[in-house]
Structure 1
Amino acid sequence: MKRARILHAGRDQWAELIDGDSALRLADGTVVAAADAEWLPPVTPGATVFALGLNYADHNAELGFAKTQATPLVFLKGHATFVGHNGASPRPADANQMHPECELVAIIGTPARNVTRDEALAHVSGYTVACDYAIREYLENYYRPNARVKNRDATTPIGPFVVDAADIADPQALVLSTKVNGVEVQHGSTADMILDIAGLIEYLSGFMTLLPGDMILTGTPHGVHFVSAGDEVVCEIEGVGRLVNKVVADQ
């Protein structure tokens, strides 16, 4: 099943995708054409959102860092940073080094505390796609991304929908790609994560309780390409979704 969060009749509602993803059915049975939907980020209000830096060896090498890290580089994201499918992300006027990062997102479905990696994926309810823009002019420390790089308003498109975990046979065998104005600028596989999803859940649940709705953005493969206002960015993950976003000038 695929579920999306949309704005309809002035209300924030969850809907199920039907008819080959061409329409959405609301809880009351109302059907909305996907092309007419106003897509919202499929993020549960109040959920904790984790993000990973330097979790792909090829991206680390691209940036001139060690291919592996002793411990995961984890940071948190505020909810204002998210924007839905077909949304717009502002590029600051003083930034020329803003680039998209396609990421698989794991969504927690049941509480997890001190779980082993063998148990970890049983706590995942679904997956979605994120485009976690980085703005390198604001980066103070590559190893600990600061708030101005990863928490600017509307600079993390996410969606379009959540795919049930049962529909993804192996989350560590998915192709990721990013296209800017139709040209591929990122290509990789989730198989290349340094710490896989099960390992990330084991690590995080070892010191805190993960709750339903919590999300883990799992990092990005190699491919740094700076974007400009007016660019269309498409992040796609095999079997999970195709996320479209527009870069606009920050007013």
Structure 2
Amino acid sequence: MKLLRYRDGGRIRPGLLDGDGQVRDLSDHVDDLDGAALSPQSLGRLAALDPDTLPKVDGAPDLAPCIGGVGKYVCIGLNYSDHAAELGMEHPEHPVVFLKATSAISGPNDDIVQPRGASTTDWEVELGIVIGTAAKYVSEDEAMSHVAGFCVLNDVSERDFQMRLGGQWTKGKSCDSFGPMGPWLVTRDEVADPHALELTCEVNGDRMQHGNSANMIFSLPRIVSHLSQLMTLHPGDVIATGTPAGVGGGRKPPVFLKPGDVLRTAISGLGEMVQTVRSDG
């Protein structure tokens, strides 16, 4: 299934994308697409519905972040061999982990807003894992059974804040609008091999990133298992699994986003996000 959330006036409603690309409303069957809706039992009930019986949503609705009420947004750094190479860094011995503020989460077509003083805003297309059942001390063999599905993420980063202001990377990762998520949650059963997905990012039509999840240093089961040794992963938690080569800061000379730029981030089978950059003044 491709599950989503869309804006209807001042309310966000849950929806489903049918086989013809038509958005169908799920409000009669689930309150929201959040942690409570992501259990195997809940997803099974939604999968059993006949999409043709669900109300059509007219036009092209304004999509909200595909997951509501995210408790944790956990990021994995330096997880692609080509990205580590472009930065001149060794492969880490263990997954590099940092957190992104959940207040940064935005919809797949919402503007990316550069905060005041920002001049080195960068892009990072990433495969997102969405947790469906609580995971604590799970093995790699059982890790994926705790995953509800996948989505496209962009770990937007203000490099100056990230590197110059000291402390954790979180400072440059958590600005409002720096967590685009969507366009929909693709359930795990629809992704034959999450380690064979093509990731791309274009800026103003120029391709900047083109990678494949096969180049991950740490696999998805390794990531979920590793994190579960450190913290309980709860339904609705989101994990950004790293970005391939081609970020602006890794280019010579570096290239960063400016107001008016248009980003297109996409992952094969998971959809795409298209966003415009603007300044917060």
TM-score normalised by length of structure 1: 0.93
Q: Do structure 1's residue 88 and structure 2's residue 118 form an aligned pair?
A: no
1:170-210: per-residue Cα shift (whole Å, max 9, x none)? 10110000011111110000011111110001101113221
Deviation at 1:25, TM superposition (A): 2.5
Structure 2 distance, partners of 1:127, 1:20, is 20
The change in CA–CA distance for 1:34 and 1:69 in structure 2 (over 3 A counts) is farther
User: Quick one: which of 266, 273, 281 aligns to 1:236?
Assistant: 266
Contact 1:117 1:201 in 2 (8 A): yes
User: Quick one: which of 31, 36, 47 aligns to 2:56?
Assistant: 31
Contact 2:133 2:146 in 1 (8 A): yes
Structure 1 distance, partners of 2:67, 2:165, is 27
1:17-60: per-residue Cα shift (whole Å, max 9, x none)? 1252243333344321462x121112331521101111111111
SS of alignment partner, residue 84 of structure 2: helix
Contact 2:120 2:257 in 1 (8 A): yes
SS of alignment partner, residue 108 of structure 2: coil
**Correspondence 1:143-162 to 2 at 5 A:** 145-162=168-185
1:74-120: per-residue Cα shift (whole Å, max 9, x none)? 11122210110210011235333211100000111111111111111
Letter of the structure 2 residue corresponding to residue 30 of structure 1: P
> What RMSD, in angstroms, separates the aligned Cα atoms of the two structures?
1.9
Name the % identity: 37
Bigger Rg, which one: 2
Letter of the structure 2 residue corresponding to residue 57 of structure 1: S
Match of 1:51 in 2: 75
Letter of the structure 2 residue corresponding to residue 55 of structure 1: N
Q: Do structure 1's residue 115 and structure 2's residue 115 form an aligned pair?
A: no
Structure 1 distance, partners of 2:152, 2:4, is 12
**Correspondence 1:212-251 to 2 at 5 A:** 212-225=235-248, 226-251=256-281
Match of 2:223 in 1: 200
Match of 2:11 in 1: 11
TM-score normalised by length of structure 2: 0.83
Structure 1: unaligned runs, 5 residues or longer: none
SS of alignment partner, residue 133 of structure 2: coil
User: Which structure has greater helix proportion?
Assistant: 2
User: Which structure has greater strand proportion?
Assistant: 1
Structure 1 distance, partners of 2:74, 2:97, is 7
Contact 1:106 1:128 in 2 (8 A): yes
